[in-house]
């Protein structure tokens, strides 16, 4: 009970800090914080598939990209209020996840990973090659950011305002995703990640559950992507590239996949390190590689995971 | 004579020309406890694997409650009311003892797709899980991680998972394997108590003859994939062929 209070207290503190952040840091770090929140949601959605269900996907950026393009194109062609573009982003990426997942969940482990990678590459080439629709490697740019919708009068083009929009949306989405992990459905996913066969002998079609987890994860990745396009002012093929999928994997491993907030923490470490290290040296990938190697060799439960393990004495 | 609950005809499974199970037929009537015995490699586990959907038979048929279930996937067979345990402990080591049972209960009550409410607030499931753990004497361990349980308690937990889906037909694959004499007695009594409740029909494989003779209404003896004998414990005890093929081998094993 005391650990629960401690965690609730810490969480309240983190949230308060996030809401007060713009009063304490420069404009630059508001950008950084926005990116961390969006990437944190992306990594957390990936972790529903990876940490909770036990499937390593290398194609998760496809859904992030789908969300980005949906938002960007709706804003460009139809000037739809942002909130509706976000809902549309969730819908389109969910549908894409249903199609890709339908094939992928038939396979296990390394074959699952390879098939998600293959589908990710296909989605990337569509975005890259289908110029008349996606504008090729330049991506979708120049879309106006007019209104948020729901009768709210928000100056979305102001980075400070957009930070708060992202903060509220990500916190709500994270709360929802957390609820999913703690629901009866979430319990079944954990059971599947550990022993799919036993779940089948309890009367559940485990493949169907893995597909649903994949679709739910795709939906949240699409929301993250939908938030990212207006922030980045472009929806481009790099967001779908497999290296972007790998970022979700890296962030999750950095933070720790066993705790819900691990991927968010990992996203923070990743984005901050990238920001700081690239300002000193071009060897960001080398440093990242070293950190990752150390993590995998010595701190397999991730930074936040290792710390929380100590605190909770697991 | 009542209709059999499980009716198996000429069940055969071959692996690359080897007949693991070779034309075995068996009827199990409701509320009966049938023991399946035979030396290692007799085909008992393969037989179970076909009934529970883990393997598709090469030929033959399985009917359950008048419905053909040959070759159905495990989750469909489980849904029909057949639940099995495994020879090698097959539980969720990383989940708590209570969660292990809750997984099966969630599946049984059709709540596995509920995403937008907390599992920890579901009184129906939690209370039922506790009741089941109490029945097996595991309630004190409810919040322990299943992986840290003693071997005997893990085997009991496995039985709890099996019972959680409220099966009519329970297949137990060597439930007392590797247990201490004390634990074996406990499990034997448990099975007898469950059988006497009249809620279950049991098919049990077992090496320990004292367990077999203590619980079985009828015994099927398998040898090299085939049916060697079938009868009451008394008949099996006095069957000369069984003595030669099986009980004799045990003595050899004991001697070596």
Q: Can you give the residue range of the structural domain that contains A88?
A: 29-241
Q: Which of residues 213-272 of A touch B (CB under 8 A)?
A: 216
B78 contact residues in A (CB cutoff 8 A): 200-203
Nearest residue, CB atoms, B90 vs list A184, A187, A195: A195
Burial class (CB in 10 A: 0-12, 13-18, 19+), B110: exposed
Of B38 and A217, more confident? A217
Burial class (CB in 10 A: 0-12, 13-18, 19+), A207: middle
For residue A286, being part of any structural domain is answered with: no
Do B75 and A183 count as a contact with CB atoms less than 8 A apart?
no
For residue A294, being part of any structural domain is answered with: no
pLDDT given for residue A314 in this prediction? 55
Q: What is the mean pLDDT of residues B126-147?
A: 95
For residue A262, being part of any structural domain is answered with: no
Distant-in-sequence, close-in-space partners of B124: CB < 8 Å, separation ≥ 6: B109
Pseudo-torsion of CA B143, B146, B147, B151, nearest 10°?
Answer: 120
User: Where are the extended beta strands (E) located within A79-147?
Assistant: 140-141
Banded model confidence at residue B246, pLDDT cuts 50, 70, 90: low
Q: Which of B121, B123, B120, B91 is nearest to B104 (CA)?
A: B91
CA distance B184 to chain A (A): 24
For residue A306, being part of any structural domain is answered with: no
pLDDT given for residue A279 in this prediction? 87
- Residue B111 contacts residue B122 (beta carbons within 8 Å): yes
Please report the domains of chain B, with CATH numbers, ordered by start residue: 1-81+167-256 (3.40.50.300), 91-166 (no CATH)
Average pLDDT over chain B, rounded to an integer: 91
For residue A299, being part of any structural domain is answered with: no
> Which H or E run includes A210?
helix A206-232
- pLDDT tens digits for A159-170? 999 999 999 999
Per-residue confidence in pLDDT tens, chain A, 314 aa: 577 888 889 899 999 999 999 998 999 999 999 999 999 999 999 999 999 999 999 999 999 999 999 999 999 999 999 999 999 999 999 999 999 999 999 998 899 999 999 999 999 999 999 998 898 888 999 999 888 888 888 888 899 999 999 999 999 999 999 999 999 999 999 999 999 999 999 999 999 999 999 999 999 999 999 999 999 999 999 999 999 999 999 999 999 999 999 999 999 999 999 999 888 888 888 988 998 899 889 988 999 999 888 887 75
For residue A127, being part of any structural domain is answered with: yes
CA distance B103 to chain A (A): 6
Q: Is the pLDDT of residue B256 over 50?
A: no
- Three-state DSSP at B83 gives strand
Q: What is the ipTM of this complex?
A: 0.91
For residue A191, being part of any structural domain is answered with: yes
Residue A256 β-bridge partners? none
Do B115 and A204 count as a contact with CB atoms less than 8 A apart?
no
**pTM strictly above 0.90:** yes
- Residue B117 contacts residue B71 (beta carbons within 8 Å): no
For residue A120, being part of any structural domain is answered with: yes
Number of structural domains in chain A: 1
């Amino acid at each position: 009970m005391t650990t629960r209070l401690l965690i609730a207290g810490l969480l309240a503190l983190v949230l308060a800090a996030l809401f007060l952040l713009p009063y304490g840091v420069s404009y630059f770090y508001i950008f950084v914080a926005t990116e961390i929140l969006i990437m944190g949601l992306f990594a957390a959605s990936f972790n529903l598939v990876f940490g909770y269900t036990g499937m390593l996907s290398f194609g998760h950026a496809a859904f992030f990209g789908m969300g980005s393009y949906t938002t960007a194109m709706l804003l460009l062609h139809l000037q739809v209020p942002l909130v509706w573009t976000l809902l549309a982003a969730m819908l389109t990426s969910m549908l894409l996840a249903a199609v890709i997942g339908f094939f992928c969940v038939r396979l296990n482990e390394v074959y699952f990973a390879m098939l998600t990678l293959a589908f990710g590459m296909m989605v990337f080439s569509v975005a890259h090659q289908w110029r008349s629709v996606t504008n090729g490697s330049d991506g979708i740019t120049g879309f106006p950011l007019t209104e948020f919708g729901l009768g709210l009068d928000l100056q979305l083009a102001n980075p400070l305002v957009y930070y708060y929009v992202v903060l509220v949306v990500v916190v709500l989405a994270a709360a929802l995703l957390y609820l999913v992990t703690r629901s009866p459905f979430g319990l079944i996913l954990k059971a599947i990640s550990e022993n799919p066969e036993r779940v089948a002998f309890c009367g559940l079609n485990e493949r169907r559950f893995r597909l649903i987890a994949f679709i739910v994860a795709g939906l949240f990745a699409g929301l993250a992507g939908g938030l990212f396009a207006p922030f980045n002012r472009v929806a481009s093929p790099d967001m779908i590239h497999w290296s972007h999928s790998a970022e979700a994997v890296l962030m999750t491993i950095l933070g720790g996949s066993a705790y819900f907030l691990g991927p968010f923490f990992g996203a923070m470490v990743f984005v901050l390190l990238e920001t700081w290290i690239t300002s000193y040296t071009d060897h960001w990938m080398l440093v990242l590689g070293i950190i990752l190697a150390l993590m995998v060799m010595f701190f397999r439960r991730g930074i936040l995971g290792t710390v929380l393990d100590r605190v909770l004495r697991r | 004579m009542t209709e059999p609950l499980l009716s198996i005809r000429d069940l055969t499974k071959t692996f690359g020309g080897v007949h693991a199970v070779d034309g075995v037929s068996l009827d199990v009537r409701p509320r009966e406890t049938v023991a399946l015995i035979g030396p290692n490699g007799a085909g008992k586990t393969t037989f179970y694997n076909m009934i529970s959907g883990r393997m598709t038979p090469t030929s033959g048929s399985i009917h359950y409650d008048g419905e053909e279930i040959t070759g159905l996937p495990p989750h469909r067979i489980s849904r029909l009311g057949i639940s099995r345990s495994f020879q090698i402990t097959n539980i969720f080591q990383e989940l708590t003892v209570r969660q292990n049972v809750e997984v099966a209960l969630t599946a049984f009550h059709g709540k596995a797709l509920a995403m937008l409410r907390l599992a920890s607030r579901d009184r129906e499931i939690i209370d039922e899980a506790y009741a089941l753990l109490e029945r097996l004497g595991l309630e004190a361990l409810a919040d322990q991680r299943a992986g840290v349980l003693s071997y005997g308690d893990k085997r009991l937990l496995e039985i709890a998972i099996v019972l959680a889906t409220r099966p009519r037909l329970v297949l137990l694959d060597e439930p007392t394997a590797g247990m201490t004499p004390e634990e074996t007695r406990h499990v034997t009594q448990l099975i007898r108590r469950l059988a006497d409740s009249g809620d279950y029909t049991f098919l049990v494989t077992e090496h320990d003859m004292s367990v077999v003779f203590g619980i079985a209404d009828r015994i099927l003896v398998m040898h090299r994939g085939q049916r060697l004998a079938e009868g009451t414990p008394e008949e099996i005890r006095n069957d000369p062929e069984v003595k030669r093929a099986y009980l004799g081998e045990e003595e050899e094993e004991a001697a070596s």
